[in-house]
Amino acid sequence: MPDAQPDLPWLGRPHTVSAPRRRSPAAVIGVCLGAVAVLVLGLVAIVVLNRGETPLATANYRDNPSAQDLSSQPQPGGAGAPASASSLPSETSAPSATGPQKILKLADHPILQDPNAGLQNRVCTLPTWQSTQAGAEAFFTAASKCLDAAWGPFLEAYHLPFTPPALHFPTGASFETECGTIQVGIATAAYYCENNLYVPFRGLQTDQYGNNPGVYLALFAHEYGHHVQEVAGLMDAAWQKIYEAGQNSPAGLEMSRRKELQAQCFSGMFLGAHVDQGGSVSRDMYNKAWNDQETRGDNTSRSHDHGTNAHYASWWRAGATSNRIADCNTFAAPSSEVS
């Protein structure tokens, strides 16, 4: 698929106005001149689009207010990084020959090239957080609608095959996915696999985090970030590299960290685009999510596939403060920034 800049579906389209039954000569001349003007403008638009210079920034993107970098200490026994997985591309996950298709690229993926591309600032309305199974389901179901509305148009503008992920709310000590049996624990606050997003309430550790919806929203947006990668083709391309190198090899683990840290950046983008917009994503939620990122990562989970706590926080904050997807190109970052 060519790496062209996308059409912008949020721009206005010409509409037809019924012509009067009778026209004076002056009206006819005016109509002709108008038609010529429309034709010229149309040709200019086509040339601009073909040159690939139409910036997505015209869609009301702006830099969001930077959060105050309040000092915070990781909480003892804090939750580890959310887990995620995917399998190698298969016939069922491969793009069709016609219509929108995934693009299996990494650092040079088209969605990561425009320095002005980001999520539109939108209002996200969520129910009040309640630390119950039913309350969590209502909260995340509403959050998924906000994430669909944020990422769907963005991905579709690049002609990628966007569909919302299927939500699941497991209640047992483990649950089945296409990626295998997943045990609910410190590393499974949420889990993504093959267009399915799982949120086991028991993994959220509400006894520790309590009434902190910003923390839960950031976790959920991280896993949704993996769906963005899946739809775009980034996920399949990353897993190809991981399997080629070996999942537990240094190269395989580094690729896994790049994938996870990009999902962190996508999570930050979402909260940054929705804070202070008049909806439910308040500055307090945003600040608590900002500070919570330092409690998550490989230092907490004692793994090597998500990135250090410091990098886990820095990539989330990069997305949150700039709301520019080019700033989430972890696949082009030096190894020192994804350790």
Mean pLDDT (10-residue bins), the chain, 339 residues: 37 27 41 44 38 31 35 27 38 56 97 97 98 97 98 97 97 93 86 96 93 97 98 98 97 98 98 97 97 93 94 98 98 98
pLDDT for 188 equals 83
Would you tell me how many other CB atoms lie within 10 Å of the CB of residue 319? 28
Residue with tokens 């990353």: 238
The structure's pTM equals: 0.75
pLDDT of residue 186: 73
Angle between helix 283-292 and helix 213-232 axes, rounded to 10 deg: 70
Read off the tokens for 285: 């939620």
- Pull the structure tokens for residue 215: 């923390």
What pLDDT is recorded for position 97? 60
What are the beta bridge partners of residue 79? Answer: none
Which phi and psi angles does 96 have, rounded to 5°?
-75, 165
pLDDT of residue 189: 87
